[in-house]
Amino acid sequence: MGTFIFVIEIIGTVAFAVSGAITGIKKNMDIFGVMTLGVVTSVGGGIIRDLILGITPPGMFARPIYAIVATVCSIIVFIPAIRRILVKNHRAYEFMMLLMDSLGLGIFTVVGIQTAYTVSSGYGIFLLIFVGVLSGVGGGVLRDVLAGNTPYIFVKHIYACASIAGAVVCTLLWDLNSTYAIIAGAVLTVVIRFLAAHFRWKLPRARIRDGENL
């Protein structure tokens, strides 16, 4: 299980690092800004998760491999040839953001739950789901705030709801088989994200008409 978790954590780290770096490039940031967004997106949710669970120092500081991988990925995305493709091709940019954000979301949602179980098997289902979702969406929220954007979680298709669905499935299946629970939760989250993007599913939102006061 340890090797399996490490592998999917690295995949999630790469995915979120790429999405963070792409956001930095679209904002015309220098290489330090791009690297910062890549690292924050990758490890931000995990740091918040660990602090809630009482894990100090957070795992990212105990195992800097995640920050190193995120930094390397951000630098690769910053390479001029790759950067030009992403900046000039809007469809490539949108697809890469969807793919990487969805992978990172699904993976870190279930890793958050696995981390909570590692600390204690006595946690209630509410905390497990809450920690899983926060681990999944936390890095993206920090990325968007630093980039000066409205957080993706509030405006783009079905985002947090996909994480919640994956967290619920992972938690309910955990006692049957933890490995299958992790895979099922991550896959469900990613599938819901892609279906939401394809069919343009969106949650109801408040719209203020011209001349209308709150």
User: What pLDDT score does 84 carry?
Assistant: 83
User: What pLDDT score does 157 carry?
Assistant: 66
pLDDT confidence of 156, banded at 50, 70, 90?
low
Question: pLDDT exceeding 90 applies to what percent of the chain?
Answer: 64
More confident residue, 116 or 156: 116
pLDDT confidence of 212, banded at 50, 70, 90?
low
The backbone torsions φ and ψ at residue 185, rounded to the nearest 5 degrees and listed phi first, read -65, -45
Q: Give the contacts of 85 (CB within 8 A, at least 6 positions apart).
A: 92
- Does residue 210 register a pLDDT over 80? no
The backbone torsions φ and ψ at residue 73, rounded to the nearest 5 degrees and listed phi first, read -60, -40
Tokens found for residue 33: 């800004």
Question: pLDDT exceeding 70 applies to what percent of the chain?
Answer: 94
User: What pLDDT score does 46 carry?
Assistant: 93
Beta strand ranges found along 53-152 (DSSP E):
none
Contact 21, 38 (CB under 8 A): yes
User: What pLDDT score does 114 carry?
Assistant: 94
DSSP-derived secondary structure for 11-53: HHHHHHHHHHHHHHHHTT--HHHHHHHHHHHHHHHHHHHHHHH
> Is there a cis peptide before residue 151, judged by omega within 30 degrees of 0?
no
User: What pLDDT score does 14 carry?
Assistant: 93
Contact 38, 73 (CB under 8 A): yes
User: What pLDDT score does 137 carry?
Assistant: 94
- Prediction pTM value: 0.89
* DSSP reduced 3-state for 47: helix
User: What pLDDT score does 173 carry?
Assistant: 96
